[in-house]
Amino acid sequence: MDELTFLIVGKTGNGKSSLANLILGESKFQVSTSMTSETTQMSEAMGVVNGEQIKIVDTPDPVNLDLSKTEISAEVARWKSHAVGKFAILLAVRCDVRYTAEEYDIYKKIKIAWGDNSFTNHLVVVFTFGDRQDRNIHEELKTVCLELRSVLADAGNRYVIFNNRAHDSESEKQKLMEYARAPVVPPPSSNLINKPVLLIIFVLIILIIALWLALR
């Protein structure tokens, strides 16, 4: 079977590297123990999960690194070079703290730098810090801020709740693997719908001009 790739993105401290280790079942990525970010460069690791070859790409938070717009574009382009074959983009969001405008800004910068629909088609929101949240997250998501709702809408409402402290996250891992195998199928491109319509309009305009010239 094809290798599955998970690209983990999001704000510093949201548990990206911990999530990467949890999926792999091994501590291959450096987790931060302080307020500073341990991940300053994209890094990757391979592993076998449930008999499947998995590649994980852990990414730094480009805004935290104080990168300029051009540097963010270059950084995200490097991540994108791994987005081949079957892959999912996992956006790590903490479910135990409020989703802030600052965090939404990081998300938007990454999305813009990515530049095309493959970003949202492969996007999955992964709620981390599930161990610090005992409320019903599925219910709570109905009333969260507009920004988070728009992120979830971008992801086609595909989300998974992870408890990085749990020893067993098998069903969540399975869900992520299914999402990687089957990205959101984009609706038929509006170009395809519009092309014949545009052609008909164009032909009609030509006919009207020809008729007008003939009758002058």
Ligand X SMILES: Nc1nc2c(ncn2[C@@H]2O[C@H](COP(=O)(O)OP(=O)(O)O)[C@@H](O)[C@H]2O)c(=O)[nH]1
Residues interacting with Mg ion, by CB under 5 A?
16-17, 39
**HSE, side-chain direction, 13 A CA sphere, residue 94:** 14
Taking CB under 6 A as the criterion, the residue among 5, 7, 13, 180 binding ligand X is: 13
Buried residues in 93-130 as b, exposed as e (16+ CB within 10 A): bbbeeebeeebbebbebbbebbeeeebbbbbbbbbbbb
Distance CA 165, CA 182 (A): 28
CB of 136 to Mg ion, least distance (A): 28
Q: Which helix (H) or strand (E) holds 201?
A: helix 190-215
Distance CA 92, CA 31 (A): 14
CB of 10 to ligand X, least distance (A): 6
CB of 25 to Mg ion, least distance (A): 17
Taking CB under 6 A as the criterion, the residue among 31, 83, 144, 184 binding ligand X is: 31
With CA atoms as reference, report the closest residue to 2 among 84, 86, 74, 81: 86
Based on CB atoms, which residue is closest to ligand X, 75 or 183? 75
**For residues 92 and 9, is the Cβ–Cβ distance under 8 A?**
yes
Q: Which does 183 bind (CB under 5 to 8 A by kind): ligand X, Mg ion, none?
A: none
Q: Does 131 bind ligand X (CB under 6 A)?
A: yes
x/- track of binding to ligand X for residues 74-113 (CB under 6 A): ------------------x---------------------
* Per rule CB under 6 A, count of chain residues that contact ligand X: 21
List contacts with ligand X (CB under 6 A).
12-18, 31-33, 37-39, 92, 128-129, 131-132, 163-165
